[in-house]
Amino acid sequence: MTVRKYLVLLAVVIFGSCGDVCLGRGMRDFGAVTASNWHLLLHAVADPWVILGICFLIGFFCTYITALSWADLTYVLPATALSYVLMALLAKIFLHENVTLEHWLGIALITAGVGFVATGPSLTVETSSTAPGKLPDAANRSDA
Amino acid sequence: MNAAAIWSGIGAIVVTATAGDVLQARAMKEVGDLGEIRQSYGVLAVVRRVVSSGRFMLGLLFMALAFFSLLITLSWEDVSVVGPASASLTFIANAFAARIFLKERVDHRRWLAALFVAGGVALLSR
């Protein structure tokens, strides 16, 4: 694992949690959306908070698939679970939501889980760019 | 809505979300390291390579199905039940699916990580 790869995992965590918090903040202004007032969703997508949330979530998706291109799924999912922790902290700070003892216990469990997986190898299967004696797949294509 | 229907809904979320994750993970391994491709050929090449992957697009379809399954199940039961149950079960299901379909070596450390994170997410979502 290089510094760049750790930064990509950090970006997954930050983009994911910021995206969800922004969507939560934006949807607060609209109340519950039901079948009878579904058109509220159309107004919601024009809300600045929702737009910012969608931008963050696009960033999340791009960094998430980047991480999947060089690490196992069973490494990326637990390693980026810190986004749940960051989301709880951001919700407490910016949305003034209540963080209970149960929540803190959940945060401790997730942090322990991340610690377990982060100390192990990120990749256990052979990929197109890690196969011994084989050039990265990119080198065999003509995208340039 | 009865309990069987609610758990069927949660099961549908878990299965479709796991299928989406596994398909995208497989697709990205086939595409190769996106960082290397971007450095060699630029961002457009990365986009072209990713969206031309059939598995990636199928993964997106399953993720969309997971999203709609979540919306439908949320109309039957509270988010405090559906959220923790689906998120934590998806973590466990992903560990099994990655071992079976992606041939990842899920050692005791990764099993513990999946179980701890699943438990933590369940507590955090309550």
Q: Choose the mutation target among B23, B26, B33, B107 for the interface with A, i.e. most A CBs under 10 Å.
A: B33
| A96 domain-assigned | yes
Burial class (CB in 10 A: 0-12, 13-18, 19+), B112: middle
Q: Is B17 part of the contact surface with chain A (CB cutoff 8 Å)?
A: no
CB–CB of A138 and B105 under 8 A? no
Residue spans per domain, chain B: 3-124
* Tokens standing for residue A136: 């990265």
Do residues A74 and A118 make contact, with C-beta atoms less than 8 angstroms apart?
Answer: no
Q: Give the ipTM of the model, two decimals please.
A: 0.83
Burial class (CB in 10 A: 0-12, 13-18, 19+), B88: buried
Report the alpha-carbon distance of residue B118 to residue B109 in Å, rounded.
14
pLDDT in tens, B22-69: 999 999 999 988 888 888 888 899 899 999 999 999 999 999 899 888
pLDDT over threshold 80, residue B78 = no
pLDDT over threshold 80, residue B72 = yes
Q: Is A51 part of the contact surface with chain B (CB cutoff 8 Å)?
A: no
Residues of A in contact with B22 (CB under 8 A): 73
Model pLDDT, residue A34: 67
Measuring CA to CA, how many Å separate A91 from each of A23, A30, B116? 11, 18, 22
pLDDT in tens, B113-125: 888 888 888 887 7
Q: Would you give per-residue pLDDT tens digits along chain A (144 residues)?
A: 788 889 999 999 999 888 888 887 887 777 766 667 777 777 878 889 989 988 998 999 999 999 999 999 988 988 888 888 888 888 788 878 778 888 889 888 888 888 888 777 888 876 555 444 343 444 444 443
Nearest CB neighbour to B41, from listed A119, A120, A144? A144
Residues of A in contact with B50 (CB under 8 A): 65
CB–CB of A65 and B28 under 8 A? yes
Helix/strand/coil for A9? helix
Do residues A69 and B34 make contact, with C-beta atoms less than 8 angstroms apart?
Answer: yes
Would you mind telling me the total number of residues written for chain A in this entry?
Answer: 144
Q: How close is the nearest chain B Cα to the Cα of A48, in Å?
A: 23
Model pLDDT, residue A136: 43
| A1 domain-assigned | no
Nearest CB neighbour to A116, from listed B35, B99, B116? B116
| A2 domain-assigned | no
Residues of B in contact with A119 (CB under 8 A): 109
CB–CB of B120 and A68 under 8 A? no
Q: How many domains does chain A divide into?
A: 1
A–B interface: beta-carbon pairs under 8 A: 163
Tokens 């990764």: give the residue: B110
Q: How far is CA A68 from the centre of its chain?
A: 12
CB–CB of B110 and A116 under 8 A? yes
Q: Choose the mutation target among B109, B112, B115, B125 for the interface with A, i.e. most A CBs under 10 Å.
A: B109
Do residues A68 and B25 make contact, with C-beta atoms less than 8 angstroms apart?
Answer: yes
| A117 domain-assigned | yes
What number of CA atoms fall less than 13 Å from residue B108's CA on the CB side? 0
Model pLDDT, residue A17: 85
pLDDT over threshold 70, residue B16 = yes
Give the ranges where chain A is alpha helix by DSSP (H): 3-28, 40-44, 48-68, 73-79, 82-94, 101-118
The interface residues of chain B toward chain A in range 34-73, judged by CB-CB distance below 8 A, are: 34-37, 40-41, 45, 48-50, 56
Per-residue three-class SS string for chain B: CCHHHHHHHHHHHHHHHHHHHHHHHHHHHHHCCHHHHHHHHCHHHHHHHHHCCHHHHHHHHHHHHHHHHHHHHHCCCCHHHHHHHHHHHHHHHHHHHHHHHCCCCCCHHHHHHHHHHHHHHHHHCC
Report the alpha-carbon distance of residue B44 to residue A5 in Å, rounded.
21
| A54 domain-assigned | yes
Domain that holds residue A101: 7-140
Q: Nearest residue of A to residue B93 by CA position? A: A74
